[in-house]
Structure 1
């Protein structure tokens, strides 16, 4: 039986390049701008109109910050550290990274 030293390598082009923190953001104009929170209130995820987001976790304000872009019902995030994530809006709910977020009501 022949063996091969070649290993399959996972390569994807699905993840857009992470913007550098110094790059400008694109203003966002969509219905999802505002504060989104988990049911227990532990994670508070604010989508700002300037294309930035600010996420607090528990008592840690601004635990994660970065840029985002909404296309249809898909949201893409680029954390300032270079981390990439995405999510989807469905029936007024945001599904992101295994969490369920609801729009904060005043």
Structure 2
């Protein structure tokens, strides 16, 4: 088992955003990607788990409002027992206005990112890129807003915005319907697939064939020995 592989996770003594409008202080326990305890402090002895002492930090569920609306389910991804363990642990307090719309967090402030049973980062350790599913790798485009995001097999991404290639670049971790991005400039962002689209930061991205004009890193034509 590697440093970030564990069946049980505990975040201790944090401010928990159990709903958009309600917070409580306590612990969060997750087992096999599902929340098993939320709220009261837990006395659990772990032999193969991860524990994060998070006093002064906040546990925020990853909510992508546009994806939730597309599924017509209402807000069902809050912190509650039996729900999927999909959350971020952030230093300090987090305004509710940042949750759901566009949660972007400075990498210095992120203590943990959990996507169900995959731990992306935990207490300073960051997981390797893994092997992204073919369902994720490729080009995703929001034609209305002029953005294409390229997800590559090596766990890297590049965004073309308004015709400018490499507007944002970095690493990504995709797991089931979730994706976490760590930009090269030093911030975390998040996305969710729903109803065939990828929802991220206000964009609605759909799979598109990679045409030469869309390639993020166009290759320069090779010169022959007869060229001047």
- Which bin holds the TM-score, normalised by the shorter protein? 0.7 to 0.9
TM-align CA RMSD: 2.5
| Mapped contact 2:129–2:173 kept (Cα < 8 A) | no
Q: Deviations over 1:41-80 (max 9, x none)?
A: 6101001011000001012110000000111100110001
Corresponding residue for 1:100? 204
When residues 47 and 19 of structure 1 are mapped into structure 2, their CA distance, relative to the original with a 3 A threshold, is farther
The TM-score normalised by the length of structure 2 is 0.37
Counterpart secondary structure, 2:166: strand
Structure 1 unaligned regions, length at least 5: 1-8
Structure 2 unaligned regions, length at least 5: 1-55, 60-86, 89-111, 114-120, 211-228
Counterpart secondary structure, 2:170: strand
The TM-score normalised by the length of structure 1 is 0.75
Counterpart secondary structure, 2:190: strand
- Within 1, Cα distance between the matches of 2:153 and 2:166? 17
Larger relative contact order (C-alpha < 8 A, sep ≥ 6)?
Answer: 1
Deviation at 1:104, TM superposition (A): 0.6
1:46 pairs with 2:155: no
| Mapped contact 1:89–1:95 kept (Cα < 8 A) | yes
Point out 4+ residue stretches in structure 1 off by more than 4 angstroms: 17-20
- Within 1, Cα distance between the matches of 2:178 and 2:166? 23
Corresponding residue for 1:60? 164
When residues 40 and 54 of structure 1 are mapped into structure 2, their CA distance, relative to the original with a 3 A threshold, is same
Give the structure with higher Rg (CA). 2
**Pairs aligned (count):** 96
Equivalent residues in 2 for 1:1-106 (5 A)?
11-12=58-59, 14=88, 15-16=112-113, 17=121, 25-40=129-144, 42-105=146-209
The structure where helix makes up a greater share of residues is 2
